[in-house]
Structure 1
Amino acid sequence: MAAPAIEGAAVTALRSVMFRVRQSAERAGTRPELVRVVAVSKTKPVSLIRQVYDAGHRCFGENYVQEIVDKVPQLPEDIEWHFIGHLQSNKVKTLLAGVPNLAMVEGVDNEKVANILDRVVSSLGRNPLNVLVQVNTSGEASKSGIDPSGCAALAEYVKLHCPNLVFSGLMTIGMPDYTSTPENFRTLLNCRLEVCKALGMAEDQCELSMGMSGDFEQAIEMGSTNVRVGSTIFGPREYTKKQPN
């Protein structure tokens, strides 16, 4: 009998998150509808995702290729899926073939992955895929993402050499304990300035994906257009075994 209570809690939490997003956007002088909330459902069962879907949410994110490929066929086709974090080049085809409604990859962190994504999108006959360049703003050696000094060059590479990808902006993942907040946000804002100058883009055309459960409100107030909220909606993650990428 515990499951319905957990699922009910997720829907209540979603509503709370959406209210907090609206408040943060208003404080930032941003229209709330311009801030996308990605409900990060990794390690969570399909039944729980379905409850949040039934409450009206459509954008969900996953971090592991096998997990998202397993879940997608069990859920409605109008979900807007985001793949979040480092994508291994040998998993690209599995991801794109297994998730026909993949809306975005957050993020591309090197030219090799960009090239493979581009080729596979073309070979599958898919529409161009939105991608964000992942930037390692916290400087952790263990963290994926390109160094901030290389973000403009990688963004330019994607835009000029990957016709089946749509460079949509930048993303970053801060430290797990949030001690890199808000410095990593400032770094990503600076990266956006460099990228927009290099590509001749307007800043409002370059998305910023920054902010998670512990700092999404501050991220929105600093300019984030895409926040990734997992445990605040779904509860603590349940790692029963090592997850494959």
Structure 2
Amino acid sequence: MAAPTVEGAAVTALRSVLHRVRQAAERSGRTQEQIRVVAVSKTKPVSLIRQVYDAGHRSFGENYVQEIVDKAPQLPEDIKWHFVGHLQSNKAKTLLGGVPNLDMVEGVGNEKIANHLDKAVSNLGRKPLKVLVQVNTSGEESKSGIDPSSCLGIVEHVRLRCPNLEFAGLMTIGMPDYTSTPENFRTLLNCRAEVCKALGMAEDQCELSMGMSGDFEQAIEMGSTSVRIGSTIFGPREYAKKQQN
């Protein structure tokens, strides 16, 4: 019997992840349909993404502007692309101009990037862009994101000062090894409670993007509505050349 191809392995891995997501969702009292799985395809070829797409998946994520701008035009337009992580403000125009089907930016960690995204959306005349505010729940200086104590301020800025952005919720990257403790997730839950109370929003209208390959089941059990899965679906990253944001 022939060994499974890499593409076949990715589709098999996706099905396994979706099964685990369904089980974790049920443990949290929700259904699988209430949890978005963003397949983060960083460093992976378009051919491999296409295999996962052909298996029925539609939400994909990238971490580098040049990579998503290169890949998106080669793939179907109904993909819902997520840009995940730190975005340099001077790359906002390139990102939005190069990816017309960009569905969401995860996440906005300061007012400067919010303003640049808002301006870029306006200049392109595209529909409002959904954004998640990035919260630095682990307190690491190396991590982007707003301090939890300042979370409400940037959310208010996006909602009141950025008419071309749609505040969709909150996100966190997690710990250095990309697994998080319940305390990290609890911090994001507390931020959501504060934001929703102050703005009169229902909590189920504020997404929580938390959980990656190493901790997504725990994240879902604690209330995550969106998880970002990379290596568990696609295999180890392939850093053949230096990536640039």
TM class, shorter-length: over 0.9
Say which SS state the counterpart of residue 154 (structure 1) adopts: helix
- AA aligned opposite 1:80: K
Distance change in 2, residues 1:17/1:179 (3 Å): closer
- AA aligned opposite 2:47: S
Measured against aligned partners, the alpha-carbon deviations of 1:54-102 in whole angstroms (never above 9, x if no partner) come to 0000000000000000001110000000000011000000000000000
Equivalent residue, structure 1, for 2:96: 96
2:178–2:212 CA contact under 8 A, matched in 1: no
Equivalent residue, structure 2, for 1:186: 186
Specify every segment of 5 or more residues in structure 1 that has no aligned partner in the other structure, as ranges.
Answer: none
2:210–2:226 CA contact under 8 A, matched in 1: yes
Measured against aligned partners, the alpha-carbon deviations of 1:18-46 in whole angstroms (never above 9, x if no partner) come to 01101100010012101000000000000
CA distance in 2: counterparts of 1:199 and 1:160, whole angstroms: 11
Matches within 5 A, 1:1-245: 5-178=5-178, 180-245=180-245
CA distance in 2: counterparts of 1:13 and 1:179, whole angstroms: 19
Q: TM-score, normalised by structure 2?
A: 0.97
Identity of paired residues, percent? 83
Q: TM-score, normalised by structure 1?
A: 0.97
What do you get for the CA RMSD once the two structures are aligned?
A: 1.2
Say which SS state the counterpart of residue 61 (structure 1) adopts: strand
How many residues of Structure 1 are paired with residues of Structure 2 in the alignment? 244
Measured against aligned partners, the alpha-carbon deviations of 1:128-155 in whole angstroms (never above 9, x if no partner) come to 0000000000000100000000011100
2:81–2:102 CA contact under 8 A, matched in 1: yes
2:180–2:211 CA contact under 8 A, matched in 1: no
- AA aligned opposite 2:160: L
CA distance in 2: counterparts of 1:76 and 1:230, whole angstroms: 20
Q: CA deviation at 1:183?
A: 1.4
CA distance in 1: counterparts of 2:3 and 2:209, whole angstroms: 32
Say which SS state the counterpart of residue 240 (structure 1) adopts: coil
- AA aligned opposite 1:204: D
Say which SS state the counterpart of residue 150 (structure 1) adopts: helix
CA distance in 1: counterparts of 2:65 and 2:106, whole angstroms: 13
CA distance in 2: counterparts of 1:204 and 1:179, whole angstroms: 24
2:106–2:131 CA contact under 8 A, matched in 1: yes
- AA aligned opposite 1:150: S
CA distance in 1: counterparts of 2:27 and 2:7, whole angstroms: 30
2:131–2:166 CA contact under 8 A, matched in 1: yes
- AA aligned opposite 1:229: I
Spell out structure 1 runs of 4+ moving beyond 4 A. Answer: none
